[in-house]
Structure 1
Amino acid sequence: LASATGGSYTQRTTNNNYSLSGPPTEVDYNPRELEAFSELFKQRRIKLGVTQADVGKALGNLKIAGVGSLSQSTICRFESLTLSHNNMVALKPVLQAWLEEAEADAAERSRHPEIYDPEEEKRRKRTSITDSEKRSLEAFFSVQPRPSSEKISQIAEKLNLRKNVVRVWFCNQRQKQKRMKFSTLGLLHHAANRS
């Protein structure tokens, strides 16, 4: 039964539908407030770059009594207002807690990106090696195609390149030499079979 009382509604759950809040209880809520929060939640979630599935998984990490991970479809149904009223009411404080924590994390990450973004190292732009650096690397390679870590450091310092750039260049060069060798052997083998 639902009855209007000055703009807010009281609803008593008496059906046997699954309820996120446990046994049937009496709750007060304002449907417009739920609708507004649902829309706000969706906008802020998208702004944070978090998927509905991510939210569902993250809820399990909040350590809220009686709340575990939820499915992507549950979060979707909350945002589209297609959950039962009682489930909407039960989910609102949980999603509000998650949103506050996620926004606090995002604010902290933006203040200190160097602490929170260890992947930044992996996303570096591709290094372009100049012609003179390439000639120097090729000269070092012709003398020693498998330099030690110390030698790579010395080469990197001489050429003013990052050690990892030099190391990767040598790996790539060895692979290139291997491909050329097998390609040449394949041509010789093919030519020998034709005669």
Structure 2
Amino acid sequence: MASATGGSYTQRTTNNNYSLSGPPTEVDYNPRELEAFSELFKQRRIKLGVTQADVGKALGNLKIAGVGSLSQSTICRFESLTLSHNNMVALKPVLQAWLEEAEADAAERSRHPEIYDPEEEKRRKRTSITDSEKRSLEAFFSVQPRPSSEKISQIAEKLNLRKNVVRVWFCNQRQKQKRMKFSTLGLLHHAANRS
């Protein structure tokens, strides 16, 4: 059996018949259940070190009727709960099947690392920042959005994160603030022109 992130899947998975083109016929999920699965899916995907684009491509290998490869933005919209309810419902079992297969594949790799290509494992896995780490980083950011290299080292040590992770988080946060500022200015400008 090939890898869940790009190879073939077992017969059990290929017999599922999910379609994104119409409303779900068998199972409907309440929004809280979809939200919980979406968050769980994102956390487990990141832990596996798989990108949203990788998931989208791998889904094409599932050979599920009505589901080919999906774009990275579709996976992103699923994780951020911005797809329609019907599409969320249709995607949930598909993503659940992929996740189960990917986790089984990862478990197999950890049991028998000697049969897998070591070059493939060299890519650094994406860092996942916990909610408490995020709150701490946000608190530091509110006091000093541009900390010195020394301060970044102190924060990294305190939170038990790599210095580069903290540095990149601060850069990303400043960019996010800048986008929000320009977005707000654009809305104000648009509103002023309408009056």
* Residues 119/85 of structure 1: CA separation in 2 closer, same or farther (3 Å cut): same
Q: RMSD of the TM alignment (CA)?
A: 17.9
2:41–2:99 CA contact under 8 A, matched in 1: yes
Q: Max radius of gyration: which structure? A: 1
Separation in structure 1 between the aligned mates of residue 177 and residue 29 of structure 2, nearest angstrom: 72
Per the alignment, do residues 171 and 119 of structure 1 end up closer, same or farther by CA in structure 2, a change over 3 Å counting?
farther
> Higher mean Cα deviation, 55-64 or 127-136?
127-136
Cα 1:117–1:175 change in 2 (3 A) is farther
The two structures have a TM-score, normalised by structure 1, of 0.50
1:65 deviates by: 2.1
Taking structure 1 as reference, are residues 179 and 15 closer, same or farther at Cα in structure 2, changes over 3 Å only?
Answer: closer
Partner of 2:169: 169
Aligned pair count? 195
Alpha-carbon distance between aligned partners in 2 of 1:28 and 1:138, rounded to the nearest angstrom: 37
Whole-Å Cα distance in 2 between the matches of residues 30 and 52 of structure 1? 24
Q: Is the 8 A contact 2:133 2:159 kept in 1?
A: yes
Q: Distance in 2 between matches of 1:80 and 1:64?
A: 23
Unaligned residue ranges in structure 2 (runs of 5+): none
Higher normalized contact order (CA 8 Å, seq sep 6+, divided by chain length): 2
- More strand by percentage: 1
Checking the alignment, whether the CA contact within 8 Å between 2:53 and 2:72 is kept in structure 1 is: yes
Displacement, 1:180? 56
Which residue does the alignment assign to 1:17? Answer: 17
Shift of 1:63: 1.8
Percent of counterpart pairs with the same letter?
Answer: 99
Select between 72-81 and 133-142 the one with higher mean Cα deviation.
133-142
Q: Is the 8 A contact 1:13 1:24 kept in 2?
A: no
In the aligned structure 2, how far is the partner of 1:138 from the partner of 1:35?
A: 24
Distance apart, 1:62 and its partner CA: 1.3
Deviation beyond 4 Å, 4+ runs, structure 1:
1-19, 23-27, 120-195
